[in-house]
A and B are shown apart, each in its own frame.
Chain A
């Protein structure tokens, strides 16, 4: 079964999202939480990498953390899914393992 990767640091400040993107397998899920949610925004210097990831990975963002920082579905890259806390729990249950990129 596939791995669930969670990332919680801004990609503009740390390299953890980049590490995750380069070390996660096709078909795995990447969930952006806390300060990492800004990595899902359109038009950023990391947007191309995220757009590429969406093609063969399941990329999600925690909606409540996105809203907290002032952004909504309209602001994020097409193909990135918004999940709520229940969806977060489902993702953990559906995957064989969770890797937290800090």
Chain B
């Protein structure tokens, strides 16, 4: 694009906690927001577990980093695509996910949902439109 803004898509496919991919990807996403690019996120396959509601780590002693996804709106990252088939395969619905929102600057700071439910086929099209796709 002529204005130098590229479309970055971060595709999250791994469950949190068992491996470090989810946390590392989140950190890269937060850093990328400093560069004023167009950033969207995808949660598919086991990546949908990253934004599961009610994560409680008191007994496991791990750091619960799920609250940080709620800050994505502050970072102007408000396109979070969740793959419908991935939820269904795991017995989940949108109700199992955190209610992630952002405040729309152009609409008197109205709070709007960031999560967009998409099908596998729609996701393929979305990926095709990106300048950079980073999977983890």
Contacts and interface: CB of A to CB of B under 8 A. Distances in A.
Any A–B CB pair closer than 8 Å: yes
A70 B55 contact: yes
A35 B19 contact: yes
B46 interface: yes
| Chain B contact residues, majority secondary structure | loop
A84 B61 CA distance: 13
A65 to B, nearest CB: 6
B15 A69 contact: yes
Contacts of A97: none
Interface residues of B, number: 26
Interface string A37-48: 010011111010
Given A10-B46, A13-B14, A64-B60, A69 B55 contact: yes
A70 B15 contact: no
Interface string B58-80: 11101010100000000000000
Interface in A12-42: 12-13, 34-35, 38, 41-42
Given A12-B89, A64-B59, A70 B17 contact: no
Interface of B: 14-19, 45-46, 49, 52-60, 62, 64, 66, 89-92, 96
14 contacts: A12-B46, A34-B18, A35-B15, A41-B90, A44-B91, A45-B89, A45-B90, A47-B91, A68-B56, A68-B59, A69-B49, A70-B52, A72-B54, A84-B59
Those 5 A-B pairs whose CB atoms lie nearest each other, nearest first: A43-B91, A35-B18, A64-B59, A70-B52, A44-B91
